[in-house]
Amino acid sequence: MSTLRLLADLLARHHYNQLQLYTEHTFAYPGHEAVWKDASPLTPAEIRELDACCRARGIELVPNQNSFGHMERWLRLPQYSHLAELPRGGAPLPWGGTKKFPTTLAPSLPESLAFVEGLYDSLLPNFTSRLLNIGCDETFDLLGKGGRSAAAVAALGEGRVYLDFVKKVMALARDRGFRPMFWGDVILRHPELVAEIPRDAIALDWGYEGGHPFAQEARRFRDAGLEFYVCPGTSSWNSLCGRVENMRENLAAAERAGRECGASGYLVTDWGDGGHWQPLAASLPGIVLGGNFALAGASAAGMNLEDALDGVMGVPLGGTLLRLGVLYLRGNALRANASELFRILAGDRTYSRHPNLTAPILAEIAAVADGCRKKAERYASENVWAEEIVYMADLVEAACYRHDAGRLAALREEHGRIWRRRNREGGCADSRDKLPRF
C-alpha cells in the first residue's frame, strides 16, 4: 500500500488525473480463493483506501478487470477450465508459436458471461469512479482450432463473435452504473464492425513502438463517432532497464495523433510481461515524460528529463537511469516490444542472439552497466530508487554474461530482495522462477 500511495503522489505531481490498476486475478474475489491465494491480492478495504487516497490528490481510480482474454490464471485451473475457449490451450500467436495454457473465455457459453458478472458484483462497489475498463484485448483463442465457439466463428466470423460478447460485457458494466472502456486491438482488425460499437463506450487505442500508426487507428474510432484515448507505453517491460528512445518516440507519436484526431484521453501504460523483472525505476522516465506530453503537447519532447528524474528520486541519478535505458541501442540489435538484452536473459543457453550483438559489443554494454552500478551504489544504502538502478545494472550484466552460473545465482537471490522493497510477496516466486538458473 505504501508503494501505491507513492504512485498516487507521483502521478499527481506529473499532471495525471486517472489511475487504472490492471487486474486479472489479483483482487480477493470471494469464493475464488484458489486463483488468488498466492497472489497477495488487494482486498475490498484496500481498494476503498486507495480510492480515497487518489481522490484526495485529484486522481480518479478506475477499475480495470480483464473480462475476455488474458484469463490464463483462472482458466488453467481445473475448476475454471469449463469456461475456456480452448481448454487445452494452443492458441496461435501473431508473433509465432502458441499459448501453452487457455487464455480466453468461451463467448458462446452463457456461463462465461455469468462468471464476469460475478466478478463485477464483487469488485465494482469498492470504486467511486463511474468508468470501468473491461479489457477484452488479445483474445487469441478465438483463432484456434477446435474451440468451443469454433462453429460460431466459422459461421459468423471472429470479429462478429468477439463483438457480440463484448457488447454483453459492456451491458453488465452499464447495468451497474459504469461506462465501459475497452482495448481496441481486436476490433481494429475488423474495421467494418467499428461502427457497431455502442456509442457510450470509450475505445483505447494502444501501441508501444515508436512508429505505431496511432493517427490511422484513431481516425477509425473518431469517424465512427466514438470517444477514444490514445495509449502509448513506458517501454519498460521486456527490457531489463527500459528502451528510452523508443519510449520518447512512442509517447510523442501518441500525443501528436491524439491531439490531431480529438482523443479525450492520453493513457500511459506500464506492463510486466515476461515476469516483471524490471523494477519501478525502469518505468519512471516514461511516467514523468508521459505526464508532461499530456500537459504541454509536443514541447514536452524538449524537457530536461534528467533533472526531472533527479527531483523525483531525490538523488542525482537521472542521467544514470537514462544511460541504462539506451543500452538496448548498442549494436543496433533492435527488436519489437523487447530489448535483445532481455531476450538473451529470458532465453535458454542456446538462444541465438541478434547477429549485431557481438561479444565486443556485449563487453562494451557490460562496462557501461558497471559504471552505472558504481554510481548508484553511492546512494543505495538509503534510497530505493538507487537500489533499483543497481539491480537493473546487474540484470544487464547477467545478460552480457549469460553463461556465468554464479552471476545468475546471485541475481536470483537479489531479485527477491529488490522485489520486496516495493511489492507484496505474491508474484515474487513466479517472477524469480522465470530468471535463468544456469
Task: Give me the chain's average pLDDT, please.
Answer: 97
- pLDDT of amino acid 438: 86
- pLDDT of amino acid 312: 98
- pLDDT of amino acid 259: 97
Query: Where does the pLDDT of residue 70 fall: very low under 50, low under 70, confident under 90, or very high at 90 and above?
Result: very high
Residue 204 region, left (φ>0) first, then alpha (ψ -120 to 50), else beta? beta
Residue 98 phi, psi (nearest 5):
-135, 160
Q: What is the pLDDT of residues 85-96, one digit of tens each?
A: 999 999 999 999
293-313 mean pLDDT: 97
Contact 390, 373 (CB under 8 A): yes
DSSP characters over 388-419: HHHHHHHHHHHHHTTT-HHHHHHHHHHHHHHH
CA distance 16 to 266: 9
DSSP characters over 319-377: HHHHHHHTGGGGGG-EETTEEHHHHHHHS-TT----TTS-HHHHHHHHHHHHHHHHHHH
Helix axes 318-325, 280-296, angle to 10 degrees: 100
- Residues in a beta bridge with 206: 231
- Residues in a beta bridge with 315: none
- Judge whether residue 436 has pLDDT over 90: yes
Query: Where does the pLDDT of residue 138 fall: very low under 50, low under 70, confident under 90, or very high at 90 and above?
Result: very high
- Judge whether residue 290 has pLDDT over 90: yes
**HSE-up of residue 147 (Cα within 13 Å, Cβ side):** 30
Q: What is the pLDDT of residues 324-366, one digit of tens each?
A: 999 999 999 999 999 999 999 999 999 999 999 999 999 999 9
- Judge whether residue 151 has pLDDT over 90: yes
Nearest to 192 by CA among 165, 215, 158: 158
- Judge whether residue 282 has pLDDT over 90: yes
CA distance 433 to 37: 18
- Judge whether residue 213 has pLDDT over 90: yes
Domains annotated on the chain, with CATH:
2-314 (3.20.20.80)
141-148 mean pLDDT: 96
pTM over 0.85, yes/no: yes
